[in-house]
Amino acid sequence: MAAEKIFLYNNTSLVQDEVLAHRLGLIPIRADPRLFEYRPEGQDRPEVEQNANSGDTIEFALKIKCKRNPKAAKDCTDPDELYINRNVYSKHLKWLPIGEQPKLFEKHGGIRPVHEDILIAKLGVGQEIELKMHCVKGVGKDHAKWSPVATATYRMLPEITLLRPIMGEQAHRLQKCFAPGVIEVVEENGEPTAKVVNPRLDTANREIFRHDDLKEIVKMGRVRNHFLFSVESTGCLPPQELVTEALLVLKNKCRVLIREIEENWLKSS
Amino acid sequence: MNAPATFESFYLFDGEKKITIEKDTKVQNAAIFTVNKEDHTLANMLRAQLLKDPNVIFAGYKIPHPLEHKFILRVQTTPESNPSEALSNAITDLISEMSLLEERFKDALKEKQESAFD
């Protein structure tokens, strides 16, 4: 869910209308998108927009004016002290519930942006912003503001093989070449020997190649069928639910395809 | 200025079919599937799964132009099967594999949460 249409009533700040609208769209909203529907097509006309449906829209209002602070000390120079509402943060966005939304979301504590301290704009004395925004459901493919995923990466499990047992002083040097925790030096038959204990922590730095005697003995590679995924969420859903939803998206792609095949060509080609 | 709308990469136009099938005339048991408004995400998955099928002799895909959102998938099978059947089976297998992954993921999550309570 992200802001799609902004209704600006008054903007006398130094931030241009379109820049302000762009920034508002990028603010992540703490609302489970699965509880909402996509807006049906053909609903983009202005008069229809004003009648937002409670099932597909979240409405926020922002009304803020910057004033001089009468209680500030005479010789104060800190702008945060001198003026009230100098900085417009995302916590100033007020949720305007539509229809049955209060009942549905009271157990979540209402709908609000994920972070309260996102700076939207800065105001000078006498400047004000008054706007309403409608948030709708969308996909990250359309615009990144709708993507619930912050960063998603994967790597393959590193594999470190010691072609020869490494003992004594060499073992300690080997341990220093890798990230802490990868190599452990254990006492075996009285001699400290190096053992690869946790290759997952390896960062594939090439420190080992700086030691001429060690670089021949160590083989670094990757396990080709072991993937380590890292998924970060923007905040509207926890990352484990993102993975489940992603699998569902893939499944739906397959289901749509197979339905089309079976409807049109009944397996008789 | 000339950029096409971003929703065009996944939104089917009026009259556009998701998938069309054409028989390949040059060889037997071969067909070319054109899938609209999809990208490598689906195409590569299907191709990889088709290659695991012993009845499939040829499976490959290409995206004819990066600015047009569609891919064509060419499948050739042995006479025991036919391309549509191979593709349907591949899709069904993929769905069950993803359901399995989902289940295992949920089990692993539950395990992690239970061990966190100890």
B84/A243 CB distance under 8 A: no
pLDDT of residue A72: 78
- Pair A156, A224: CB distance under 8 Å: yes
Compute the nearest-CA separation of A265 from chain B (Å). 8
pLDDT tens-digit profile of A80-92?
888 888 999 999 9
pLDDT of residue A43: 55
pLDDT tens-digit profile of B63-112?
999 999 999 999 999 999 989 999 999 999 999 999 999 999 999 999 99
What average pLDDT does the structure give for chain A? 88
The region of weakest confidence among A48-62, A159-173, A177-191 is A48-62
pLDDT of residue A269: 46
Compute the nearest-CA separation of A242 from chain B (Å). 11
Task: Find the residue in A nearest to B108 (Cα).
Answer: A240
Task: Find the residue in A nearest to B46 (Cα).
Answer: A254
Average pLDDT over residues A7-20: 94
SS3 A257: helix
Compute the nearest-CA separation of B58 from chain A (Å). 17
CA angle B36–B40–B41, rounded 5-degree value: 100
Q: Contacts of residue B9 in chain A, CB cutoff 8 Å?
A: 141
Compute the nearest-CA separation of A125 from chain B (Å). 37
B82/A269 CB distance under 8 A: yes
Those residues whose C-beta lies under 8 Å from the C-beta of residue A269, and which sit 6 or more positions away, are: B21, B23, B31, B82, B83, B84
Task: Output the six-digit token pair for A87.
Answer: 């900085």
Q: Contacts of residue B35 in chain A, CB cutoff 8 Å?
A: 257
pLDDT tens-digit profile of B9-66?
999 888 889 999 999 999 999 999 999 999 999 999 999 999 999 999 999 999 999 9
pLDDT of residue A45: 54
Q: How many residues can be counted in chain B?
A: 118
Interface of A with B in 125-144 (CB under 8 A): 139, 141-143
- Band of residue A51 on the pLDDT scale cut at 50, 70, 90: low
Quote the percentage of chain B above a pLDDT of 90.
81
pLDDT tens-digit profile of A142-166?
999 999 999 999 999 999 998 988 8
Q: Measured between CB atoms, does A73 come within 8 Å of chain B?
A: no
